[in-house]
């Protein structure tokens, strides 16, 4: 077995040193009834690299690859070009095969990356501080709602209809068990989110209001007025960002008054990967940091006075506080955070802005072109790189029909909101720098056919 260095001679010598007659003697504490006498029946034996590669490649070939067809899916996961050096960097064995930096003297590489990541994310989201990552955007969103409950000692969270339905689902699951009250609603196919309705729902029991920016339909809106209304009731505004590239050209949520900003960092440096692993972002103001979940890296000095980095404020965390911890999170998503950080470093201010401009202009042109198709109405007014179309037919079968033509046309709202009658004709379309004008043209003419 190529991953096992011990030879039978080694094993015999080691058993003799230990004073055991056989390997079975080391499993003596296992009750006899639970001991398996040999390899489990019905499972295949070990296989060569070549054989495994053949098996996995055959499975991979059964999927339609996003990069090989006209592709327009977003809704929380975005296809962007990732520079080759990002993948090279995360495959450095010293990053890939290290663990949580419990011994900082020999983990300064990971720790400095965490510190840089925290600093980049805080700036991007417009907050003072960010943590070293969460599992993903959906779990970060729930953690933010929990944090708002701890800070305000109130149990009612109001979630905008523009928040990703999976994120809302996760929060609903958790709230069932924690007793939090969630006020949720479906989005409406309107050009702007209904902020006034949110404002009207805020009361003295409200811990937080959660909005997504850009939202699930791609819409963007200034959240300053909402922030004022939330703060007037001493509640917190939580903003969710699932497409951080947008922040290259639009104001950050922090700038507009959000207290906690969470997000999904996948679109910078991390590929689609069928949904994971991704990287959850979590940022807030400095004064809230002691109620923050997750790992934090901080700057300090070593015994010789040299600058160095350590994990810090661990008294919030489960390994110290156990049942009194701010969260049960342990492992986060550091390798994906490295990928995101490296991509941001390669882009820099100028590159991120240019990337965002390219996305926006391409999406804007695509919206105009698709809006010309008979039976298609452009719903979204202000957006970044994703917009919603209202089709003259139910969108789900349209998406399936287009997939049969080799086009991955977008995410139908029927997929995201089964049973919501008013949304079934909605199609959310994302356009990035990877989308060509030919792709848009192909989609436009195919849509014309399918809707005819």
Considering only residues 182 to 211 of the shown chain, the ones binding other proteins according to CB under 8 A are none
Site for other proteins contains 322 (CB under 8 A) = yes
Phi/psi of residue 376, nearest 5 degrees: -120, 130
Q: What's the rounded Cα separation, in Å, for the pair 185 and 423?
A: 13
The answer to whether 93 touches 221, Cβ cutoff 8 Å, is no
Residue whose CB is less far from other proteins, 233 or 371: 371
In this complex, which beta carbon is closest to other proteins, that of residue 94 or of residue 204? 94
Give strand pairing partners of 387. Answer: 429
Task: Tell me: does residue 32 bind other proteins (CB under 8 A).
Answer: no
Closer residue to other proteins in complex, CB, 69/233: 69
Q: Does 85 bind other proteins (CB under 8 A)?
A: yes
Neighbours of 325 (CB within 10 A): 17
Fill in the DSSP letter of residue 134: B
> Which one of residues 182, 183, 325, 444 is an interface residue with other proteins (CB under 8 A)?
325
Phi, psi of 20 (to 5 degrees): -105, 140
Considering only the stretches 201-209, 327-335, 369-377, 435-443, report the one whose residues sit in contact with other proteins under the rule CB under 8 A.
Answer: 327-335
Query: 227-266: which residues touch other proteins (CB under 8 A)?
Result: 247-252, 255, 264
- How is residue 376 written in tokens? 């298609």
Q: Cα–Cα distance between 157 and 211 in angstroms, integer?
A: 11
Instruction: Name the minimum Å distance from CB 159 to other proteins.
Output: 14
Stretch that binds other proteins, among 77-85, 154-162, 203-211, 435-443 (CB under 8 A): 77-85
DSSP 336-359: HHHHHHHHHHHHHHHHHHHHHHHH
Is 435 near other proteins (CB under 8 A)? Answer: no
21 binds other proteins (CB under 8 A): no
Out of 200, 201, 315, 445, point to the residue binding other proteins (CB under 8 A).
Answer: 315
Bridge partners, residue 238, by sequence: 210, 260
Q: Please choose, from the candidates 401, 124, 103, 82, the residue with its C-alpha nearest in 3D space to the C-alpha of residue 267.
A: 82
Q: Which stretch binds other proteins (CB under 8 A): 149-157, 197-205, 226-234, 378-386?
A: 378-386
The single residue among 144, 158, 170, 440 that binds other proteins, judged by CB under 8 A, is 170
- Establish if 97 lies at the interface with other proteins (CB under 8 A): yes
| The Cα angle at residue 365 between residues 363 and 367, in degrees rounded to 5 | 70
With a CB cutoff of 8 Å and minimum separation 6, the contacts of 238 are 141, 144, 145, 148, 208, 209, 210, 211, 258, 259, 260, 261, 262
Q: Is 377 exposed, middle or buried (0-12, 13-18, 19+ CB in 10 A)?
A: middle
Strands 386-391 and 426-430: antiparallel
Nearer of residues 204 and 306 to other proteins, judged by Cβ: 306
Q: Which of helix, strand or coil describes residue 291?
A: helix
For position 26 contacting other proteins by CB under 8 A, the verdict is: yes
Going residue by residue from 346 to 375, which x/- string records binding to other proteins, judged by CB under 8 A? xxxxxxx-xx-xx-xxx-xx-xx-------
Number of residues that bind other proteins (CB under 8 A): 211
What is the token pair recorded at 369? Answer: 């072109």
What's 64's DSSP letter? P
Residue window 128-167: x/- pattern of binding to other proteins, with contact defined by CB under 8 A: xxx-xx-xxxxx------------------------x-xx
Q: Is 275 helix (H, G, I), strand (E, B) or coil?
A: helix
Shortest gap between Cβ of 89 and other proteins (angstroms)? 4
**Site residues for other proteins, window 41-70 (CB under 8 A)?**
42-47, 49, 51-53, 55-57, 59-68
The residue among 96 and 203 lying less far from other proteins, judged by its C-beta, is 96
Residue closer to other proteins (CB basis): 204 or 421: 421
Closest approach of other proteins to the CB of residue 360, in Å: 7
Contact 196, 245 (CB under 8 A): no
- The Cα 333–Cα 366 span in angstroms is 34
Q: Is there binding between residue 3 and other proteins (CB under 8 A)?
A: yes
Q: Does 452 bind other proteins (CB under 8 A)?
A: no
Nearer to other proteins, 299 or 449 (CB): 299
Q: Least CB distance from residue 63 to other proteins, whole Å? A: 4
Q: Which of residues 383-422 bind other proteins (CB under 8 A)?
A: 383-384, 399-400, 403, 408, 411, 415-416, 418-419
Report if residue 28 touches other proteins, rule: CB under 8 A: yes
Quote the CA–CA distance of 426 and 215 in Å, as a whole number.
14
Task: In whole angstroms, give the CA distance from residue 4 to residue 23.
Answer: 16
Please pick, from the candidates 199, 345, 390, 444, the single residue that binds other proteins as defined by CB under 8 A: 345
């Amino acid at each position: 077995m190529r991953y096992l260095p011990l030879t039978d001679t080694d094993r015999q010598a080691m058993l003799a040193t230990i004073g055991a007659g056989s390997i079975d003697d080391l499993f003596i504490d296992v009750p006899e009834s639970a001991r398996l006498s040999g390899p489990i029946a019905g499972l295949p034996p070990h296989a060569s690299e070549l054989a495994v590669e053949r098996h996995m490649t055959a499975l991979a070939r059964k999927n339609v690859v996003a990069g090989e067809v006209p592709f327009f899916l977003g809704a929380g996961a975005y296809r962007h070009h990732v520079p080759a050096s990002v993948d090279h960097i995360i495959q450095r064995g010293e990053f890939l095969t290290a663990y949580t930096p419990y011994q900082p003297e020999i983990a300064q590489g990971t720790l400095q990356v965490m510190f840089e990541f925290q600093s980049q994310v805080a700036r991007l989201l417009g907050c003072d501080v960010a943590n070293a990552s969460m599992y993903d955007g959906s779990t970060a969103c729930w953690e933010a709602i929990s944090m708002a409950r701890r800070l305000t000692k109130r149990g009612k969270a109001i979630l905008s209809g523009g928040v990703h339905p999976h994120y809302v689902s996760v929060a609903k699951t958790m709230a069932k068990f924690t007793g939090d009250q969630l006020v949720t609603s479906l989005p409406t196919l309107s050009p702007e989110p209904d902020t006034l309705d949110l404002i009207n729902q805020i009361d003295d029991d409200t811990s937080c209001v959660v909005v997504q920016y850009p939202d699930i339909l791609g819409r963007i809106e200034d959240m300053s007025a909402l922030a004022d209304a939330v703060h007037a009731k001493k509640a917190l505004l939580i903003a969710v960002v699932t497409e951080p590239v947008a922040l290259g050209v639009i104001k950050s949520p922090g700038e507009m008054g959000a207290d906690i900003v969470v997000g999904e960092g996948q679109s910078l440096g991390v590929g689609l990967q069928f949904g994971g692993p991704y990287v959850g972002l979590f940022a807030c103001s400095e004064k809230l940091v002691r109620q923050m979940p997750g790992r934090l890296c901080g700057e300090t000095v070593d015994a010789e006075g040299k600058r160095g980095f350590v994990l810090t404020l661990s008294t919030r965390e489960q390994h110290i506080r156990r049942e009194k911890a701010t969260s049960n999170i342990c492992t986060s998503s550091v390798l994906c955070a490295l990928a995101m950080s490296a991509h941001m470093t390669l882009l820099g201010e100028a590159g991120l802005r240019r990337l965002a401009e390219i996305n926006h202009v391409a999406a804007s042109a695509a919206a105009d072109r698709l809006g010309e198709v008979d039976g298609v109405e452009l719903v979204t007014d202000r957006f970044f790189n994703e917009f919603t179309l209202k089709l003259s037919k139910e969108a789900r079968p349209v998406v399936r029909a287009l997939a049969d033509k080799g086009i991955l046309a977008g995410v139908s709202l029927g997929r995201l909101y089964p049973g919501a009658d008013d949304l079934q004709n909605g199609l959310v379309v994302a356009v990035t720098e990877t989308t060509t004008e030919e792709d848009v043209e192909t989609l436009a003419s195919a849509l014309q056919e399918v809707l005819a």
